[in-house]
């Protein structure tokens, strides 16, 4: 307490008591509160600017440093376009498979109680916690030449490792729990009373899902799809292990960035990166729009 | 009719809602084909290794240093993320300021940005000629191609985990407790550490664990900035990659097995923390 405040305090004790004590205390606290507040906000802004925004600015400035012509050449390069196509294909496959799985699995785990429910939930989360490199490795050990299915696949002329199916499988693997993780808490919180009522009144399984379960989960589903797509578009480690880096064949966009960078073709690497940055920003915007809508509906 | 309903309900409600068999079938078969069978291949492949071989691969100098680099840098990065993540969550939940929505939306960027893009961008930024790297290079501190660089890349990928774990808990936290504490004469800092932090701690720990696990397994964003100097800045996932490129599949499996065990233990830890949280909030 400063000298001046102390004096006021003592005066007030003589004077009208409690209310003026508050009068003295309130502004002091507010002042220091404001100071801390700006300090904390400042630290956060600085941290996020250095950690998140600066890398984006680096990508954009480096992509454009040799001018528009070089940028366009890198972005519309034949291999870049092919890599983009494969990336989109893998992401679409991952989203489709994981949405089907997410809906069935969260329906199963939230509407029915059975033994091993917890274990099943834990198993679904596995791909979330393991290194992407290991995710790629498991497919090599399954379908590759050394894998136990390798001989069978070779005999039938099916190629999975170092081919497009491998890239797709690895992408599905790393994004496997994403839709489930978004849907399950929502379905679980909703409980199963409404479904039970509908079932007792004679509704069939599909009708129950379409008319009762689905309206509750549509925003969460969209949210999960967006997260799944984001991760699928950007997956690098797992795909890197299994793709074999065949240009124009099994190269996804994130892998193409690596190849260009390792060839010291830095400008082109950043130009291709800028395409991915744009995709990432679009996904973030979509995520925020969906979140805003779902909150508004609640 | 009434009796019928009661009968059905007695079977723990399993039969009331249709679709149990279908959803169980779809869930188990997809999980089995896409995740469990491929994962089992690691165990099959590992079982072909003799124990002595396994130990000699895993304890070789290069591999041990890979584990040490991955785990120590990921631990440090998760600590940094725990501190800044808590701060960012606090600012996002408790304060109003222009650009708050933008800040909130930006948190997931490391999630949406491909790790290879993050990797080359961070490497450029922190190399001796980069915008930030040059500042530190003048002071004689090198960031890129050292463990500092690895840690920074791991901080980058871990940012969303702590924030998104703590945010919902802080949002639900009733401010009455803080007001009560302050009324009773506790200072701001005392209130934060004795009233707020204990409530947030399980969520913070879960976020820390997730960021830690992600850091240990991280490959894409780290591999460029690490420089991959043997025994110094080689991370464990890179060693798996290198062994695969040399067609040493059994070595790669052995290294992967240890990493798998580490991440399983971490997940077990996180799950028990979350279970504790659920009980805590219910009771």
For chain A, the domains span 3-63, 67-297
How close is the nearest chain B Cα to the Cα of A67, in Å? 19
Banded model confidence at residue B43, pLDDT cuts 50, 70, 90: confident
Q: Are B171 and B42 contained in the same domain? A: no
Closest CA to B16 of B24, B26, B6: B6
Banded model confidence at residue B18, pLDDT cuts 50, 70, 90: confident
Q: Are B33 and B107 contained in the same domain? A: no
The number of angstroms, rounded, from the C-alpha of A221 to the middle of its chain's C-alpha atoms is: 13
Whether the predicted pLDDT of B123 surpasses 50: yes
Whether the predicted pLDDT of B258 surpasses 60: yes
* Averaged pLDDT, A4-30: 48
Could you report the per-residue pLDDT of A152-165, keeping only the tens digit for each?
Answer: 888 888 888 888 99
Banded model confidence at residue B280, pLDDT cuts 50, 70, 90: low
Whether the predicted pLDDT of A180 surpasses 60: yes
Whether the predicted pLDDT of A3 surpasses 70: no
Whether the predicted pLDDT of A6 surpasses 80: no
Whether the predicted pLDDT of A92 surpasses 90: yes
pLDDT of residue B227: 85
Banded model confidence at residue B26, pLDDT cuts 50, 70, 90: very high
Q: Are B29 and B139 contained in the same domain? A: no
The number of angstroms, rounded, from the C-alpha of A227 to the middle of its chain's C-alpha atoms is: 4
Q: Which two tokens stand for residue A25?
A: 């205390």
Q: Are B38 and B70 contained in the same domain? A: no
Whether the predicted pLDDT of B78 surpasses 90: yes
Banded model confidence at residue A136, pLDDT cuts 50, 70, 90: very high
CB < 8 Å & 24+ apart, contacts of A32-35: A32/B188, A33/B188
Q: Which two tokens stand for residue B258?
A: 């240890």
Q: Are B67 and B80 contained in the same domain? A: yes
Which of B45, B159, B217 is nearest residue A141 as measured by Cβ atoms?
B45
pLDDT of residue B124: 92
* Averaged pLDDT, A116-136: 88
- In a 13 Å sphere around the CA of A273, the CA atoms on its Cβ side amount to 33
Banded model confidence at residue A24, pLDDT cuts 50, 70, 90: very low
Distance CA B219, CA B188 (A): 41
* Averaged pLDDT, A204-227: 89
Hey, is the C-beta of B216 within 8 angstroms of any chain A C-beta?
yes
Query: Residue A15 — φ and ψ, nearest 5°?
Result: -80, -120
Distance CA B41, CA B46 (A): 8
For residue B10, being part of any structural domain is answered with no
Contact between B93 and B170 (Cβ < 8 Å): yes
- Return the higher-pLDDT residue of B274 and A82: A82
Per the confidence metrics, is the pTM higher than 0.90?
Answer: no
* Averaged pLDDT, A176-195: 89
CATH at B157 = 1.10.3720.10
Q: Are B39 and B54 contained in the same domain? A: no
Contact between A140 and B244 (Cβ < 8 Å): yes
pLDDT of residue A55: 93
As a whole number, the mean pLDDT across chain A is: 85
- Return the higher-pLDDT residue of B211 and A29: B211
* Averaged pLDDT, A104-130: 88
Q: Are B129 and B54 contained in the same domain? A: yes
Q: Are B79 and B212 contained in the same domain? A: yes
Whether the predicted pLDDT of A88 surpasses 80: yes
Whether the predicted pLDDT of B2 surpasses 50: no
Whether the predicted pLDDT of A97 surpasses 90: yes
Mutation pick from A237, A270, A278 vs chain B, by most beta carbons of B within 10 Å, is A237
pLDDT of residue B231: 85
Could you report the per-residue pLDDT of A241-282, keeping only the tens digit for each?
Answer: 998 777 778 889 999 999 999 999 889 999 999 999 999 999
Chain A residues with CB-CB distance to B114 below 8 A? 233-236, 253-254, 257, 273, 276, 280
Mutation pick from A131, A230, A283 vs chain B, by most beta carbons of B within 10 Å, is A131
Q: Are B96 and B205 contained in the same domain? A: yes
Task: Count how many domains chain B has.
Answer: 2
Q: Are B78 and B194 contained in the same domain? A: yes
* Averaged pLDDT, B82-104: 92
A126-140, A233-247, B70-84, B195-209: which is most confident: B70-84
Whether the predicted pLDDT of B180 surpasses 70: yes
Which of B13, B91, B264 is nearest residue A41 as measured by Cβ atoms?
B91
**Residue at token pair 């409690």:** A18
Whether the predicted pLDDT of B173 surpasses 50: yes
Contact between B123 and B144 (Cβ < 8 Å): yes
Return the residue of B nearest to A245 by Cα. Answer: B245
Give the residue numbers spanning the domain of B38.
Answer: 17-48
* Averaged pLDDT, B85-103: 92
Residues 6+ apart with CB under 8 A from A101: A176, A179, A180, B26, B27, B30, B31, B34
Window 165-194 of B, Cβ < 8 Å to A = 188
Banded model confidence at residue B5, pLDDT cuts 50, 70, 90: very low
Q: Are B167 and B256 contained in the same domain? A: yes
Interchain contact, A113 vs B45, CB within 8 Å: no
What's the ipTM?
Answer: 0.84
Q: Are B30 and B99 contained in the same domain? A: no
Judged on CB neighbours under 10 Å (0-12, 13-18, 19+), B79 is: middle
Chain A residues with CB-CB distance to B39 below 8 A? 126, 138
* Averaged pLDDT, A227-237: 91
pLDDT of residue A2: 46
* Averaged pLDDT, A69-94: 92
Answer with the one of B30, B48, B66 that is the final residue of a domain. Answer: B48
Could you report the per-residue pLDDT of B57-68, keeping only the tens digit for each?
Answer: 888 999 999 999
pLDDT of residue B237: 92
How close is the nearest chain B Cα to the Cα of A103, in Å? 9
pLDDT of residue A121: 87
pLDDT of residue A253: 92
CA distances from A165 to A33, A182, A249, B33 (A): 58, 27, 11, 14
Banded model confidence at residue A7, pLDDT cuts 50, 70, 90: very low
Question: What's the angle, vertex CA A146, arms to CA A140 and CA A152, rounded to 5?
Answer: 95
Whether the predicted pLDDT of A98 surpasses 90: yes
Architecture of domain A67-297 in this structure: Orthogonal Bundle (1.10)
Interchain contact, A255 vs B116, CB within 8 Å: yes
pLDDT of residue B15: 60
Closest CA to B262 of B239, B243, B237: B237
Least reliable range by pLDDT among A204-208, B3-7, B207-211, B257-261? B3-7
pLDDT of residue B93: 93
Contact between A286 and A224 (Cβ < 8 Å): no
């Amino acid at each position: 307490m400063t000298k001046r405040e102390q004096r006021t305090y003592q005066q007030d004790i003589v004077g009208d008591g409690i209310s003026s004590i508050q009068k003295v205390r309130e502004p002091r606290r507010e002042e220091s509160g404001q100071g801390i507040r700006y300090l904390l906000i400042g630290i956060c802004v600085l941290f996020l600017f250095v950690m998140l925004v600066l890398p984006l600015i680096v990508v954009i400035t480096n992509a454009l440093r040799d001018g528009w012509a070089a940028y366009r050449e890198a972005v519309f390069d034949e291999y870049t376009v092919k890599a983009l196509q494969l990336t989109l294909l893998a992401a679409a496959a991952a989203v489709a498979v994981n949405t089907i799985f997410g809906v069935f699995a969260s329906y199963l785990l939230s509407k029915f109680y059975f033994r091993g429910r917890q274990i099943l939930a834990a198993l679904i989360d596995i791909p979330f916690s393991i290194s992407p490199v290991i995710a790629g490795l498991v497919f090599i050990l399954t379908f590759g030449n050394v894998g136990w299915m390798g001989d069978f696949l070779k005999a039938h002329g099916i190629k999975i490792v170092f081919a497009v199916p491998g890239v797709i499988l690895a992408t599905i693997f790393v994004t496997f729990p994403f839709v489930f993780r978004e849907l399950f808490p929502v379905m679980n919180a909703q409980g199963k009373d409404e479904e039970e009522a509908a079932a007792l009144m004679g509704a069939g399984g599909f009708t129950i899902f379409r008319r009762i379960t689905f309206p509750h989960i549509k925003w969460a589903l969209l949210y999960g799809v967006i997260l799944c797509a984001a991760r699928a578009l950007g997956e690098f480690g797992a795909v890197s292990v299994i793709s074999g880096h065949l240009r124009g064949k099994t190269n996804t966009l994130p892998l193409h960035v690596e190849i260009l960078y390792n060839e010291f073709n830095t400008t082109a690497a950043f130009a291709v990166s800028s395409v991915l940055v744009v995709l990432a920003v679009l996904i973030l915007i979509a995520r925020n729009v969906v979140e805003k809508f779902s909150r508004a509906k609640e | 009719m009434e009796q019928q309903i009661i009968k059905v309900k007695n079977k723990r409600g399993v039969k009331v809602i249709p679709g149990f068999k279908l959803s169980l079938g779809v869930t188990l078969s997809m999980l089995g084909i896409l995740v469990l069978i491929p994962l089992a291949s690691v165990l099959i492949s590992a079982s072909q290794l003799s124990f002595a071989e396994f130990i000699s691969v895993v304890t070789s100098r290069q591999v041990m240093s890979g584990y040490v680099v991955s785990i120590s840098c990921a631990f440090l990065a998760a600590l940094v993320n725990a501190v800044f993540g808590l701060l960012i969550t606090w600012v996002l939940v408790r304060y109003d300021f222009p650009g708050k929505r933008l800040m909130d939306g930006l948190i997931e960027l490391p999630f949406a940005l491909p790790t290879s893009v993050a990797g080359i961008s961070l490497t450029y930024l922190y190399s001796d000629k980069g915008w930030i790297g040059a500042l530190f290079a003048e002071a004689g501190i090198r960031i890129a191609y050292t463990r500092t660089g690895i840690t920074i890349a791991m901080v980058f990928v871990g940012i969303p985990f702590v924030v998104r774990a703590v945010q919902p808990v802080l949002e639900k936290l009733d401010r009455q407790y803080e007001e009560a504490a302050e009324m009773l004469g506790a200072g701001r800092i005392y209130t934060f550490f004795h009233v707020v932090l204990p409530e947030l701690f399980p969520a913070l720990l879960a976020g820390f664990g997730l960021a830690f696990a992600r850091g240990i397994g991280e490959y894409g964003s780290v591999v460029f900035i690490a420089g991959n100097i043997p025994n110094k800045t080689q991370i464990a996932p890179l060693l798996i990659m290198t062994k695969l490129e040399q067609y040493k599949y059994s070595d790669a499996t052995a290294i992967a097995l240890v990493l798998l065990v580490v991440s399983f233990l971490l997940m077990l830890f996180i799950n028990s923390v979350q279970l504790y949280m659920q009980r805590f909030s219910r009771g």
